[in-house]
Amino acid sequence: MRTAELRPEDVVLEVGPGLGSLTLGLLPAAASVTAVEIDPRLAARLPRTVAERAPGLADRLRVVEADALRVRELPGPPPTALVANLPYNVAVPVLLNLLELLPTLRRALVLVQAEVAERLAAPPGSPAYGVPSVKAAWYGEVRRAGAVGRRVFWPEPNVDSGLVALDRRPPPPGDRAATFAVVDAAFATRRKGLRAALAGWAGSPAAAEARLRAAGIDPATRGERLSVTDFARLAATAADPAGGGSA
């Protein structure tokens, strides 16, 4: 709980609470917990578990039976913190969906597969830097917050795990969807320079070069060298490729 840096007034969003071990730890540390659980049996059981184990805190819990990838609204006050052991196979899309859906989230602390944690927190120019790194950086400052061994889980998984913390900050100037489209194109063929990698996005290699130069980016550079702010500036040139990309 110390790593999550929760405040007594926080409304915590938990995804995939399962049997409720993390939920029971969150309830004393926050004003309330909204738990999103896709499994109807686990969703039905969680309130009973809390009532049995922590009856004095049962009124702080709200359980939503839903897929966190498809949820569009949540009951109760807006969540201010996301603390969750995310399902490893969909961790990145779940995290990005919730950050976009819930601008009130000021902080996130999520447990994911170690390799995914490395990618989410990777800085520009590092080997692990890619689409998850850039898209997470749109929403805030991301860092590794610790490693978790396999033996703390039951059943024991076949992969190592890692904690990732995100502190919300204003996004760079520009349009999120347009920026993410450029990011996807840039890393689809990450071994190519951006002039070639963005040819489809821009319409031709020549058009890609013009937009890159308008944004002040060397056309020969690769996507892994660009920050999220660079990508946002580049995306803005699609609306005005001759306008210098000063989004």
Whether residue 147 has pLDDT greater than 80: no
Q: 56-60, 143-147, 205-209: which range is least confident on average?
A: 143-147
Supply the pLDDT for residue 244: 42
Other CB atoms within 10 A of residue 41 CB: 9
Supply the pLDDT for residue 238: 78
Supply the pLDDT for residue 232: 98
Q: 176-236 has which CATH code?
A: 1.10.8.100
Question: Does the 11-168 domain belong in CATH 3.10.180.10?
Answer: no
Write down the mean pLDDT value for the chain: 93
Provide the b/e sequence for 142-151 (b: ≥16 CB within 10 Å). Answer: beebeebeee
Whether residue 162 has pLDDT greater than 70: yes
Query: Per-residue confidence at 190, pLDDT binned at 50, 70, 90?
Result: confident
Instruction: Please state the separation of Cα 206 from the chain's center in Å.
Output: 34
Whether residue 243 has pLDDT greater than 50: no
Arithmetic mean of pLDDT, 49-55: 97
Query: Per-residue confidence at 95, pLDDT binned at 50, 70, 90?
Result: very high
Is the bond leading into 205 cis (omega within 30 degrees of zero)? Answer: no
Arithmetic mean of pLDDT, 110-127: 96
Other CB atoms within 10 A of residue 17 CB: 27
Supply the pLDDT for residue 34: 98
Q: 62-66, 85-89, 178-182: which range is least confident on average?
A: 85-89
Asked if 11-168 and 176-236 have one fold, the answer is no
Whether residue 242 has pLDDT greater than 60: no
- Contact predicate 119/132, CB 8 Å: yes
Domain ranges for the chain, please list them.
11-168, 176-236
Supply the pLDDT for residue 191: 84
Supply the pLDDT for residue 26: 97
Tell me which residue of 13, 45, 8, 14 sits closest to 28, measured CA to CA.
8
